């Protein structure tokens, strides 16, 4: 079933937090310590609506999606990092 958002929600993932335009999911990869995987999903139509990245408790791994997010949506990038730090991820 297609959802009303532009991004695709991951199955078997926990919604960690959200704001007006985005939802941040914890993919529950607790065995990948210290790096955990997350997915950011757009609630509105975006050219790129899904971003995948890893976080080690202090910083995002600067893979392709993290770099793209920081380039095109630096405020969202900062929100993601702060949200993950506050959640103790």
Kindly report, residue by residue over 61-87, the tens digit of the pLDDT: 999 999 999 999 999 999 999 999 998
What is the average pLDDT value for the chain, to the nearest integer?
A: 85
Q: What is the pTM of this model?
A: 0.82
Domain count of the chain? 1
Q: Can you tell me whether residue 8 is helix, strand or coil?
A: coil
Structural domain contains residue 2: no
pLDDT reported for residue 58: 87
Structural domain contains residue 5: no
| pLDDT grade for 3, boundaries at 50, 70 and 90 | very low
**Domain interval for residue 81:** 14-86
- Helices then strands, counting H and E runs in the chain, come out as 2, 4
| Burial class of 81 by CB neighbour count within 10 A (0 to 12, 13 to 18, 19+) | middle
């Amino acid at each position: 079933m297609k959802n009303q958002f532009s991004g695709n929600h991951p199955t078997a993932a926990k919604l960690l937090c959200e704001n007006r335009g985005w939802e941040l999911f914890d993919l529950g990869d607790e065995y990948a310590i210290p790096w955990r995987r997350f997915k950011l999903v757009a609630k509105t139509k975006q050219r790129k609506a899904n971003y995948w990245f890893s976080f080690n408790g202090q910083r995002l791994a600067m893979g392709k999606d993290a770099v793209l997010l920081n380039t095109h949506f630096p405020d969202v990038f900062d929100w993601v990092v702060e949200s993950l730090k506050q959640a103790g991820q």
